[in-house]
Chain A
Amino acid sequence: MVDLAVDMGRGLVLANPVMPASGTFAEGLAKVVDLNGIGALVTKTITAELRGGNPVPRVSEVANGMLNSIGIPSKGIDHFLDETLPFYRQFSSPLIVSISAPTVDDFARAAERLNVEGVAGIEANISCPNIEEDGKAFAMRPGTTEQAVSAMRKVTELPLWAKLTPNTGDIAAVARAAEAAGADGLVVGNTILAMSVDIETMRPTLGNVMGGLSGPAVKPIMLRMTYQCARAVDIPVIGCGGIASANDAVEYLLAGARAVQVGTATFIKPGTMDEVIAGIAAYCRRKGFNRVVEMIGALNAEMMAPDVMEAAQ
């Protein structure tokens, strides 16, 4: 029996390292999958205010991936606490609430309101536009990342994860800023800004023109960023991007992720997370790991011995 438990710090221990990515999970999955078997539950991002979201079409498919511009529709934090939270309290899996806000102060106010029974942690979606910074996402730069995370850290004792954006030039610097500001974990990361065009209609395929790319197409990029972040910080990194199988998840764990999030794949096969959990256990057995933590960061990056390198010259 492989021990799949992972310690995420600040008292949060997950029964296994697999959870949904925010925005790809909602109550509906409980009709198909036993949510008690998932390592953690991560809500769709909620905002303090009511938001309608972006115009349709909100999604299009590209080669091995999904392009979306949903626009964070939200019924607001009051609705979440009154109507949604009671549903999730039925399940034993810890609930991580994803929040977003347009300003640093709004992030802090939202985080403060989640100090309620049934919320096990906060995932700060700092990949959204910051209105104080002319629409640039908080996580595009270390300074704004530090400001947002610090403000939330002051108002909550809950485990606080920062969800980073790949749309930045130096993700390791952003990761270090989030850690220095008091984040307990990093989710690496959100979707990659992208677009596609319908050549028959000569229009963009998304109503919002540009959107976020996810799915298998982004996995090598997100895996690289997960590896860079895991080397840059001491807090847990949660790998996210294109995980559709246990083998995908194993790549992330070997590269240093302490946990993984499954996103787009759940849209195509709702039971993907169950398969990933079972497959990670099978991999551990095959490789002789008694505990999943033994394989975290076990990547052997020395591809070629020095004498071979010399011989090739």
Chain B
Amino acid sequence: MRQHSFADVPPVADAFSAQVADTAARVVANDWVNAEYKLIVLDAPGLAATAEAGQFFNIECPVVGEDKPFFRRPMSTYAADSVSGRVAFLYKVAGAGTRGLAALEAGETTRILGPLGVGFTLPEDIGSIVVLGRGVGLATLAPLAEMARERGVAVTAIVSARGPEQVLSVERFRNAGAQVEIVLDSDGTSDIANVEAILRRLHAEGRADGFYTCGSNRLMLLMQNLAAELGIYGEVAMEQQMACGLGMCFCCVRNFNVEGEIVSKRVCWDGPVFPLAEATSW
């Protein structure tokens, strides 16, 4: 799923068939994974559980006390399993929406709209990739590691965090067969020069045919520059404030550099995954 061209859309059949579902999803679990992040697992059989790596959902967040979120909140898919019909989201409890989401208990339901947007691609000629993420960006990248394993592509995950207690998703990456390198602000290893040295070493070792990143402007720019210098394929998953998630409201635009021309694109519809070379900021 890469293109949204309607040029060759066939006539709509008599029986309507949705490509995106607005699903009433039952909460299976909603637990803290550290002091800031929770993991919510939902029963959402049908279309929702067919989400691909990098796709996202627009999630209804309940009204709790003073928090009255009006819009749904976009969240990248942490896991989707069409066999079990379950989808999961890793989220930082930060504002009115996520505080409401955090209050959901097992057995309650919420509505999730998805799968939405364009996910990650792995070009045929790629044998190894590096994923580089920070914070909730790691949640977006985790399903990519599993997609790579299914395709026989080797993965190195560079996990960036403030300190050891903020490290996310390491087990998830290891379970997907990824080599994991943890870099921290607390010991200076997340310093941009050190991350650059790691990326150059991985490239020299033949472990970096593709670069994938999410969660940090600093890291994105580093990967973008290195990818251009070394001729490496790259993609970035972006965030932007959204309302509809379906390309209708034009709230979530960002500027992209498409062959030297600055072009405005909708993150929800044209992305959220974009060519790394086109990003102008995360």
Contacts and interface: CB of A to CB of B under 8 A. Distances in A.
A19 to B, nearest CB: 14
Most A Cβ at <10 Å: residue of B9, B60, B70, B113: B70
A56 B240 contact: yes
Contacts of A268: 60, 70-72
Nearest to A35: B12
Interface string A214-232: 0100000000000000000
Among A26, A35, A62: residue with most chain B CB under 10 A: A26
B192 interface: no
Interface in A35-91: 35-36, 44, 52-53, 56-59, 61-66, 68, 70, 73, 83, 86-87, 90-91
A266 B250 contact: no
Given A65-B70, A87-B6, A90-B11, A26 B251 contact: no
Size category, A interface: 35 or more
Given A32-B20, A53-B253, A64 B113 contact: no
Contacts of B33: none
A287 interface: no
B127 interface: no
Contacts of B253: 53, 56, 58, 73
B249 interface: yes
B254 to A, nearest CB: 8
Contacts of B20: 31-32, 270
Interface in B76-101: none
A51 to B, nearest CB: 10
B111 interface: yes
Nearest to A216: B70
B57 to A, nearest CB: 13
Interface residues of B, number: 33
A86 B8 CA distance: 10
A34 interface: yes
Contact of B241 (A36, A59, A63, A65): A59
Interface in A78-132: 83, 86-87, 90-91
B22 interface: yes
A90 B12 contact: yes
B70 A269 contact: no
B249 A32 contact: no
A129 to B, nearest CB: 18
Contacts of B71: 61, 66, 267-268
Interface string B249-261: 1110110000000
Contact of A87 (B9, B21, B240): B9
A28 B69 contact: no
Contact of B21 (A32, A56, A70, A267): A32
A198 to B, nearest CB: 12
A29 interface: yes
Contacts of B6: 27, 83, 86-87
Contacts of A215: 70
A32 B240 contact: no
Nearest to A89: B11
Nearest to A68: B251
Nearest to B97: A61
Contacts of B243: 59, 66, 68, 267
B35 interface: no
A24 interface: yes
Given A66-B71, A66-B243, A87-B9, A267 B22 contact: no
A70 B251 contact: yes
Contacts of B241: 56-59
The 10 lowest CB-CB distance pairs between A and B, nearest first, are: A28-B246, A34-B16, A61-B70, A28-B247, A267-B244, A59-B251, A31-B19, A26-B248, A31-B20, A87-B6
Interface of B: 6-7, 9, 11-12, 16, 18-22, 60, 68-72, 111, 113, 240-241, 243-244, 246-251, 253-254, 264, 269
Interface of A: 23-36, 44, 52-53, 56-59, 61-66, 68, 70, 73, 83, 86-87, 90-91, 215, 266-271
8 contacts: A24-B244, A53-B253, A56-B251, A59-B241, A73-B253, A87-B6, A90-B12, A269-B22
Given A34-B16, A52-B264, A62-B70, 14 more contacts: A23-B249, A28-B247, A33-B18, A53-B250, A56-B241, A57-B251, A61-B70, A65-B70, A68-B249, A70-B251, A73-B250, A268-B71, A268-B72, A269-B111
